[in-house]
A = this chain, B = another copy of it.
Amino acid sequence: MKVICFGELMIRYNPPGYNRFVQTPVMEFNFGGAEANVAVSLAGLGVKSSLVTKLPSHEIGQAAVNILRRYGVETNNIVRGGERVGIYYVEKGAAQRPSKVIYDRKYSAIAMAEKKDFEWDRIFDGADWFHFTGITPALGDNVAEICLEACKTAKEMHIPVSCDLNFRKNLWSSEKAGRIMGGLMPYVDLCIANEEDADKVFGIRAADTDIDKGILNHEGYISVAQQIAERFGCKRVAFTLRGSISASDNDWAGMLYDSKSDETVFSNTYRIHIVDRVGGGDSFGAGLIYAALNGFNLQDSIEFAVAASALKHTIEGDFNFVTADEVNALVKGGGTGRIQR
Protein backbone atom coordinates (compact mmCIF):
# COMPACT_ATOMS: atom_id res chain seq x y z
CA MET A 1 0.00 0.00 0.00
CA LYS A 2 1.27 3.43 -0.86
CA VAL A 3 -0.03 6.93 -0.17
CA ILE A 4 0.86 9.92 -2.32
CA CYS A 5 0.87 13.28 -0.50
CA PHE A 6 1.15 16.57 -2.36
CA GLY A 7 2.17 19.76 -0.65
CA GLU A 8 4.93 21.94 0.71
CA LEU A 9 7.74 20.88 3.01
CA MET A 10 8.96 23.89 4.95
CA ILE A 11 11.75 24.57 7.38
CA ARG A 12 10.28 24.91 10.84
CA TYR A 13 12.33 27.19 13.05
CA ASN A 14 11.36 27.25 16.69
CA PRO A 15 13.12 28.56 19.77
CA PRO A 16 13.94 25.79 22.27
CA GLY A 17 11.41 25.20 25.04
CA TYR A 18 9.16 28.10 25.92
CA ASN A 19 11.46 30.89 24.77
CA ARG A 20 9.86 33.70 22.82
CA PHE A 21 11.12 34.80 19.42
CA VAL A 22 12.63 38.00 20.79
CA GLN A 23 14.80 36.24 23.35
CA THR A 24 16.19 33.13 21.64
CA PRO A 25 19.83 32.85 20.53
CA VAL A 26 19.20 29.64 18.64
CA MET A 27 16.50 28.00 16.54
CA GLU A 28 15.76 24.32 16.26
CA PHE A 29 16.11 23.39 12.61
CA ASN A 30 13.18 21.14 11.93
CA PHE A 31 10.87 20.61 9.01
CA GLY A 32 7.15 20.32 8.58
CA GLY A 33 4.13 20.97 6.43
CA ALA A 34 0.64 19.59 6.50
CA GLU A 35 1.03 16.94 3.78
CA ALA A 36 4.60 16.08 4.74
CA ASN A 37 3.39 15.52 8.27
CA VAL A 38 0.81 13.07 6.99
CA ALA A 39 3.46 11.28 4.94
CA VAL A 40 5.87 10.93 7.88
CA SER A 41 3.04 9.83 10.14
CA LEU A 42 1.99 7.11 7.70
CA ALA A 43 5.58 5.88 7.28
CA GLY A 44 5.82 5.58 11.04
CA LEU A 45 2.59 3.57 11.10
CA GLY A 46 4.11 1.22 8.55
CA VAL A 47 2.45 2.49 5.37
CA LYS A 48 4.56 3.44 2.35
CA SER A 49 4.23 7.12 1.60
CA SER A 50 5.71 9.53 -0.90
CA LEU A 51 5.74 13.30 -0.83
CA VAL A 52 5.29 15.17 -4.08
CA THR A 53 6.82 18.63 -3.84
CA LYS A 54 9.59 20.85 -5.23
CA LEU A 55 12.75 21.79 -3.37
CA PRO A 56 15.87 23.75 -4.35
CA SER A 57 18.95 21.78 -5.32
CA HIS A 58 21.21 23.45 -2.74
CA GLU A 59 22.16 22.00 0.63
CA ILE A 60 19.24 23.48 2.53
CA GLY A 61 16.94 21.81 0.04
CA GLN A 62 18.93 18.62 0.49
CA ALA A 63 18.48 18.81 4.26
CA ALA A 64 14.72 18.94 3.63
CA VAL A 65 14.89 15.84 1.44
CA ASN A 66 17.00 14.08 4.05
CA ILE A 67 14.51 14.58 6.84
CA LEU A 68 11.88 12.77 4.80
CA ARG A 69 14.25 9.94 3.95
CA ARG A 70 15.22 9.63 7.60
CA TYR A 71 11.64 8.99 8.58
CA GLY A 72 10.97 6.61 5.72
CA VAL A 73 9.10 8.78 3.24
CA GLU A 74 9.88 8.18 -0.44
CA THR A 75 11.47 11.19 -2.07
CA ASN A 76 11.75 10.13 -5.69
CA ASN A 77 8.75 12.29 -6.59
CA ILE A 78 10.40 15.45 -5.33
CA VAL A 79 11.41 17.81 -8.11
CA ARG A 80 14.66 19.65 -7.40
CA GLY A 81 14.82 23.28 -8.45
CA GLY A 82 13.59 26.72 -7.56
CA GLU A 83 15.16 29.09 -5.09
CA ARG A 84 13.62 28.95 -1.66
CA VAL A 85 12.65 26.42 0.93
CA GLY A 86 9.59 27.94 2.60
CA ILE A 87 9.93 28.73 6.27
CA TYR A 88 7.64 28.99 9.24
CA TYR A 89 8.49 30.07 12.75
CA VAL A 90 6.78 28.44 15.72
CA GLU A 91 6.78 29.91 19.21
CA LYS A 92 5.35 27.47 21.71
CA GLY A 93 2.65 28.85 23.96
CA ALA A 94 1.88 27.95 27.56
CA ALA A 95 -1.10 28.48 29.80
CA GLN A 96 -2.74 31.76 28.77
CA ARG A 97 -0.12 32.57 26.14
CA PRO A 98 -1.05 31.10 22.75
CA SER A 99 1.42 29.51 20.37
CA LYS A 100 2.38 31.78 17.53
CA VAL A 101 3.24 30.95 13.93
CA ILE A 102 4.91 33.39 11.53
CA TYR A 103 5.10 32.33 7.90
CA ASP A 104 7.88 33.17 5.47
CA ARG A 105 6.80 30.82 2.71
CA LYS A 106 6.14 33.06 -0.27
CA TYR A 107 8.16 32.43 -3.43
CA SER A 108 9.16 28.96 -2.30
CA ALA A 109 10.11 26.38 -4.92
CA ILE A 110 6.75 24.61 -4.73
CA ALA A 111 4.80 27.88 -4.73
CA MET A 112 6.56 28.78 -8.00
CA ALA A 113 6.23 25.28 -9.50
CA GLU A 114 4.83 24.67 -12.94
CA LYS A 115 2.41 22.11 -14.24
CA LYS A 116 5.10 20.35 -16.24
CA ASP A 117 7.09 19.65 -13.10
CA PHE A 118 4.76 16.77 -12.19
CA GLU A 119 3.65 13.81 -14.29
CA TRP A 120 0.72 12.57 -12.27
CA ASP A 121 0.08 9.31 -14.06
CA ARG A 122 3.63 8.25 -13.39
CA ILE A 123 3.46 9.47 -9.80
CA PHE A 124 0.22 7.60 -9.11
CA ASP A 125 1.51 4.40 -10.64
CA GLY A 126 1.17 1.79 -7.88
CA ALA A 127 -0.46 4.23 -5.46
CA ASP A 128 -3.44 3.37 -3.27
CA TRP A 129 -4.39 6.76 -1.88
CA PHE A 130 -3.95 10.44 -2.62
CA HIS A 131 -3.87 13.12 0.06
CA PHE A 132 -3.63 16.88 -0.05
CA THR A 133 -4.86 19.76 2.08
CA GLY A 134 -6.37 23.16 1.47
CA ILE A 135 -2.94 24.71 1.92
CA THR A 136 -1.58 23.32 -1.33
CA PRO A 137 -3.99 25.05 -3.74
CA ALA A 138 -3.73 28.18 -1.60
CA LEU A 139 -0.02 28.50 -2.52
CA GLY A 140 -0.98 30.05 -5.86
CA ASP A 141 -3.15 29.63 -8.91
CA ASN A 142 -0.42 27.59 -10.56
CA VAL A 143 -0.37 25.14 -7.65
CA ALA A 144 -4.18 25.04 -7.53
CA GLU A 145 -4.17 23.97 -11.15
CA ILE A 146 -1.56 21.31 -10.51
CA CYS A 147 -3.69 20.11 -7.63
CA LEU A 148 -6.77 19.89 -9.81
CA GLU A 149 -4.84 17.89 -12.36
CA ALA A 150 -3.66 15.56 -9.62
CA CYS A 151 -7.25 15.06 -8.41
CA LYS A 152 -8.51 14.33 -11.88
CA THR A 153 -5.73 11.85 -12.56
CA ALA A 154 -6.34 10.13 -9.23
CA LYS A 155 -10.02 9.83 -10.00
CA GLU A 156 -9.28 8.39 -13.43
CA MET A 157 -6.94 5.87 -11.85
CA HIS A 158 -9.55 4.99 -9.20
CA ILE A 159 -7.35 6.15 -6.35
CA PRO A 160 -9.28 7.41 -3.31
CA VAL A 161 -8.63 11.04 -2.41
CA SER A 162 -8.57 12.67 1.01
CA CYS A 163 -8.41 16.37 1.70
CA ASP A 164 -7.98 18.29 4.93
CA LEU A 165 -9.62 21.70 4.43
CA ASN A 166 -6.91 23.41 6.51
CA PHE A 167 -7.99 26.99 5.90
CA ARG A 168 -5.12 29.51 6.20
CA LYS A 169 -6.25 33.12 6.21
CA ASN A 170 -2.71 34.33 5.44
CA LEU A 171 -2.72 32.48 2.15
CA TRP A 172 -6.09 33.36 0.73
CA SER A 173 -9.49 34.83 1.47
CA SER A 174 -12.53 32.77 2.45
CA GLU A 175 -14.10 33.78 -0.81
CA LYS A 176 -11.22 32.50 -2.94
CA ALA A 177 -10.79 29.42 -0.80
CA GLY A 178 -14.46 28.59 -1.26
CA ARG A 179 -14.24 28.97 -5.00
CA ILE A 180 -11.06 26.96 -5.54
CA MET A 181 -11.79 24.28 -2.95
CA GLY A 182 -15.30 24.01 -4.36
CA GLY A 183 -13.73 22.90 -7.62
CA LEU A 184 -11.57 20.29 -5.95
CA MET A 185 -14.00 18.81 -3.46
CA PRO A 186 -15.97 16.77 -6.01
CA TYR A 187 -12.88 14.58 -6.35
CA VAL A 188 -12.55 14.11 -2.59
CA ASP A 189 -13.71 10.90 -0.94
CA LEU A 190 -12.69 11.70 2.63
CA CYS A 191 -13.00 15.27 3.83
CA ILE A 192 -11.21 16.25 7.04
CA ALA A 193 -11.72 19.50 8.89
CA ASN A 194 -11.39 21.21 12.21
CA GLU A 195 -14.00 23.28 13.99
CA GLU A 196 -13.69 26.37 11.86
CA ASP A 197 -12.62 25.21 8.41
CA ALA A 198 -16.05 24.33 7.08
CA ASP A 199 -17.33 27.71 8.14
CA LYS A 200 -14.43 29.73 6.82
CA VAL A 201 -14.18 27.91 3.48
CA PHE A 202 -17.76 27.01 2.64
CA GLY A 203 -19.82 29.04 5.08
CA ILE A 204 -21.17 25.79 6.50
CA ARG A 205 -21.35 26.05 10.25
CA ALA A 206 -22.39 24.14 13.30
CA ALA A 207 -25.21 25.87 15.08
CA ASP A 208 -24.70 26.90 18.69
CA THR A 209 -20.97 26.27 18.70
CA ASP A 210 -18.65 28.89 20.12
CA ILE A 211 -15.17 27.84 19.15
CA ASP A 212 -13.28 30.25 21.36
CA LYS A 213 -15.22 29.13 24.38
CA GLY A 214 -14.60 25.51 23.49
CA ILE A 215 -18.30 24.62 23.44
CA LEU A 216 -18.71 21.70 21.15
CA ASN A 217 -22.14 20.79 19.93
CA HIS A 218 -22.32 17.23 18.64
CA GLU A 219 -25.53 17.71 16.73
CA GLY A 220 -24.17 20.75 15.01
CA TYR A 221 -21.12 18.84 13.82
CA ILE A 222 -23.27 16.08 12.40
CA SER A 223 -25.21 18.65 10.49
CA VAL A 224 -22.06 20.23 9.07
CA ALA A 225 -20.78 16.84 7.98
CA GLN A 226 -24.05 16.04 6.29
CA GLN A 227 -24.03 19.35 4.45
CA ILE A 228 -20.48 18.83 3.20
CA ALA A 229 -21.19 15.29 2.09
CA GLU A 230 -24.31 16.36 0.35
CA ARG A 231 -22.87 19.39 -1.40
CA PHE A 232 -19.72 17.68 -2.71
CA GLY A 233 -20.54 14.00 -2.69
CA CYS A 234 -17.84 13.01 -0.17
CA LYS A 235 -18.13 9.49 1.19
CA ARG A 236 -16.88 10.38 4.61
CA VAL A 237 -16.38 13.54 6.61
CA ALA A 238 -14.20 13.72 9.73
CA PHE A 239 -13.76 16.42 12.33
CA THR A 240 -11.21 16.98 15.01
CA LEU A 241 -12.89 18.26 18.16
CA ARG A 242 -10.47 20.37 20.14
CA GLY A 243 -11.48 21.82 23.49
CA SER A 244 -8.92 24.48 24.30
CA ILE A 245 -8.59 24.81 28.05
CA SER A 246 -5.32 26.68 27.70
CA ALA A 247 -2.23 26.57 25.53
CA SER A 248 -0.97 23.84 27.89
CA ASP A 249 -4.05 21.67 28.22
CA ASN A 250 -6.57 20.59 25.61
CA ASP A 251 -9.40 18.13 25.30
CA TRP A 252 -9.10 16.19 22.10
CA ALA A 253 -11.61 14.02 20.30
CA GLY A 254 -12.92 13.31 16.80
CA MET A 255 -15.99 12.57 14.80
CA LEU A 256 -16.46 10.53 11.66
CA TYR A 257 -19.53 10.61 9.43
CA ASP A 258 -20.35 8.06 6.77
CA SER A 259 -22.66 9.41 4.11
CA LYS A 260 -23.81 6.10 2.72
CA SER A 261 -25.11 4.86 6.06
CA ASP A 262 -25.69 8.40 7.38
CA GLU A 263 -23.97 7.07 10.50
CA THR A 264 -21.83 9.22 12.80
CA VAL A 265 -19.38 8.07 15.45
CA PHE A 266 -17.61 10.06 18.16
CA SER A 267 -14.37 9.02 19.76
CA ASN A 268 -13.14 8.86 23.30
CA THR A 269 -12.04 12.29 24.58
CA TYR A 270 -8.47 12.73 25.82
CA ARG A 271 -7.36 15.39 28.24
CA ILE A 272 -3.91 16.23 26.89
CA HIS A 273 -1.04 18.02 28.60
CA ILE A 274 0.57 19.42 25.48
CA VAL A 275 4.22 19.08 24.42
CA ASP A 276 3.70 20.35 20.86
CA ARG A 277 0.36 20.69 19.17
CA VAL A 278 1.50 21.65 15.67
CA GLY A 279 0.73 18.77 13.33
CA GLY A 280 -2.04 17.41 15.55
CA GLY A 281 -4.61 17.61 12.79
CA ASP A 282 -2.24 16.06 10.27
CA SER A 283 -1.65 13.03 12.45
CA PHE A 284 -5.42 12.68 12.74
CA GLY A 285 -5.67 12.62 8.95
CA ALA A 286 -2.90 10.04 8.72
CA GLY A 287 -4.73 7.90 11.26
CA LEU A 288 -7.90 8.00 9.17
CA ILE A 289 -6.02 7.05 6.01
CA TYR A 290 -4.33 4.19 7.86
CA ALA A 291 -7.70 3.01 9.12
CA ALA A 292 -9.23 3.24 5.66
CA LEU A 293 -6.38 1.32 4.02
CA ASN A 294 -6.67 -1.35 6.70
CA GLY A 295 -10.44 -1.66 6.43
CA PHE A 296 -11.30 -0.53 9.95
CA ASN A 297 -14.93 0.01 10.78
CA LEU A 298 -16.26 3.49 11.53
CA GLN A 299 -15.76 3.43 15.30
CA ASP A 300 -12.35 1.79 15.16
CA SER A 301 -11.30 4.31 12.52
CA ILE A 302 -12.10 7.36 14.60
CA GLU A 303 -10.62 5.83 17.76
CA PHE A 304 -7.38 5.03 15.96
CA ALA A 305 -7.12 8.47 14.39
CA VAL A 306 -7.84 10.31 17.63
CA ALA A 307 -5.46 8.17 19.68
CA ALA A 308 -2.71 8.66 17.09
CA SER A 309 -3.18 12.40 17.15
CA ALA A 310 -3.46 12.53 20.94
CA LEU A 311 0.01 10.96 21.03
CA LYS A 312 1.26 13.53 18.51
CA HIS A 313 0.54 16.27 21.04
CA THR A 314 3.18 14.71 23.32
CA ILE A 315 5.97 14.80 20.72
CA GLU A 316 8.30 17.67 19.85
CA GLY A 317 8.04 18.96 16.28
CA ASP A 318 5.42 18.55 13.57
CA PHE A 319 5.95 14.87 12.98
CA ASN A 320 4.12 12.07 14.73
CA PHE A 321 6.68 9.41 15.59
CA VAL A 322 4.39 6.63 16.72
CA THR A 323 3.95 3.06 15.63
CA ALA A 324 0.62 1.36 15.06
CA ASP A 325 1.35 -0.73 18.16
CA GLU A 326 1.62 2.38 20.28
CA VAL A 327 -1.63 3.78 18.93
CA ASN A 328 -3.44 0.50 19.47
CA ALA A 329 -2.15 0.30 23.03
CA LEU A 330 -3.66 3.71 23.75
CA VAL A 331 -6.95 2.79 22.09
CA LYS A 332 -7.10 -0.30 24.29
CA GLY A 333 -6.95 1.88 27.35
CA GLY A 334 -3.31 2.41 28.20
CA GLY A 335 -3.65 6.13 28.69
CA THR A 336 -2.45 6.15 32.27
CA GLY A 337 1.12 6.48 31.10
CA ARG A 338 2.69 3.68 33.13
CA ILE A 339 6.34 3.29 32.31
CA GLN A 340 7.25 0.63 29.74
CA ARG A 341 10.40 -1.34 30.42
Contact = CB atoms under 8 A, between A and B. Distances in A.
Interface of A: 13, 15, 17-30, 58-60, 62-63, 66-67, 69-72, 83-85, 87, 89, 91, 93-104, 106-107, 168-170, 211-214, 244-249, 270-275, 277-278, 307, 310-311, 313-317, 319, 321-322, 326, 330, 333-341
A155 B212 CA distance: 47
A18 B314 contact: yes
B95 A212 contact: no
Nearest to A244: B336
A72 B246 CA distance: 30
Contact of A337 (B58, B98, B211, B338): B98
A96 B336 CA distance: 6
B98 A339 contact: yes
Given A69-B69, A213-B336, 6 more contacts: A13-B27, A21-B59, A59-B91, A66-B71, A98-B338, A103-B341
Nearest to A66: B70
A338 B250 CA distance: 10
Chain copies in the assembly? 6
A247 B333 CA distance: 13
A334 B59 contact: no
Q: Which of A99, A249, A315, A336 has the most CB of B within 10 A?
A: A336
Contacts of A21: 59-60, 62-63
Given A59-B91, A94-B314, A245-B336, A84 B104 contact: yes
Nearest to A272: B95
A317 to B, nearest CB: 7
12 contacts: A17-B316, A21-B63, A22-B321, A25-B29, A58-B102, A59-B91, A93-B339, A95-B270, A96-B311, A103-B341, A212-B336, A246-B273
B336 A95 contact: no
A18 B316 contact: yes
